[in-house]
Amino acid sequence: MRHYGTTADGIAVEEYTLCNASGMEVKLITFGGILTSIRVPDRGGHFANVALGFDCLAKYEAEHPYFGAITGRYANRIAGGRFSLDGADYELFKQDGVASLHGGEVGFDKRNWAARQFDNGVELSYLSPDGEEGYPGNLNVTVRYSLDDENILRIEYSAATDAPTVLNLTNHSYFNLLGEGEGTIYDHILTLNADSYTPTDARQIPTGEIVSVAGTPFDFRVPKTIGPGQRSADPQIIMAKGYDHNFVLNREGLSDGELGLAARVYEPRLGRIMEVWTAEPGVQIYAGNVLDTTLVGASGRLYRQSDGLALETQHFPDSPNQPGFPSTALRPGGRFHSATEYRFSTD
């Protein structure tokens, strides 16, 4: 552990480094629970950071596209910044005037988390007080990062509340298996264990439909490169400026809490592979559609559109307003628990 920096409000931020016997290295900071670096080998044994991010705290404090952060209380969008639960109505902050996104104006990505080390990882905790960003209930949240010698980075989420609330947690890392700042993800080969997805309207709010991916650019049931679909003329792609959609994962035969394969990403030039396994019902695929060329990454290079791929394991967007989606309600006496693993290897 080392001192990473001090926020504008005078809060000390710590950095933790996880290493394994294979030489893989993961760095994270207590501010936002942000994964700042994930170094993994290619087929030739050369290591590179495959996670987009910055080189200093000030850039993470400024506005940015949630690089590497824990997002909550509610990851993704809630339409109109409002929802009803158990007969009570709640109003949330709306970033763009039409929806609440990733927890509000000051979500979990902008909070400094308490940290505790354990054998092969770090446990972060945060108490979100009743009414924070409009959400009800005092919510105790724990996020555990661990790394094993098989190059598996595991993120485990737990939470409990003292009043009915809604909850949707994820990590918002952007990956580029060529290495951070090394170009687009157009030639990455993606496979998704999903027969359907949730289309959105022009505001990127789910319509409530669950639609088959067959015959659409959203069909990644067999491996294919990301670029052609990202540039397609499909109305859904045009509205979102690329992939920014929730896929409904196939979980037949899996019990609640059991991890299943969600996605596999393969970069053929250097041979890096990343598999995503999760207990969540969905994964949001976001291909960095609006990455800003004014953002200078940790490598000193400018980030451009589609220079990173986010795979946000989650419940579905706007679930509190969509009765046909899996529930995100959490009540006193219950406990939220979910895990996601990023498994790295080479061909």
Q: What is the pLDDT of residues 54-69, one digit of tens each?
A: 999 999 999 999 999 9
Q: Which pLDDT band, with edges at 50, 70 and 90, does 96 fall under?
A: confident
The 8-class DSSP code of residue 303 comes to P
Residue 345: how many other CB atoms lie within 10 Å: 16
Containing domain of residue 252, as a range? 2-346
Residue 156: how many other CB atoms lie within 10 Å: 17
- Average the pLDDT over each of 59-73, 76-90, 291-305, 318-332 and give the range with the smallest value: 291-305
Evaluate if residue 293 carries a pLDDT over 80: no
d(CA 7, CA 294) in angstroms, rounded, equals 22
- Average the pLDDT over each of 60-69, 70-79, 89-98 and give the range with the smallest value: 89-98
- Cα torsion for 307, 313, 318, 320, to the nearest 10°? -160
What CATH number should be reported for the domain holding residue 291? 2.70.98.10
The predicted pLDDT at position 95 comes to 87
d(CA 25, CA 23) in angstroms, rounded, equals 6
- Average the pLDDT over each of 14-18, 35-39, 195-199, 290-294 and give the range with the smallest value: 290-294
d(CA 284, CA 262) in angstroms, rounded, equals 11
Residue 284: how many other CB atoms lie within 10 Å: 24
Sheet holding 35-41, edge to edge: 2-6, 12-19, 25-29, 35-41, 47-49
The predicted pLDDT at position 129 comes to 98
| Average pLDDT value for residue range 6-21 | 98
Q: What residues are annotated to the active site?
A: 172, 312
**What does the pLDDT look like over 160-183, one tens digit per residue?**
999 999 999 999 999 999 999 999
Place of tokens 């509205």: 239
Q: What domain count does the chain have?
A: 1
Evaluate if residue 309 carries a pLDDT over 90: yes
Evaluate if residue 287 carries a pLDDT over 80: yes
Nearest Cα to Cα of residue 50 among 42, 61, 38: 38
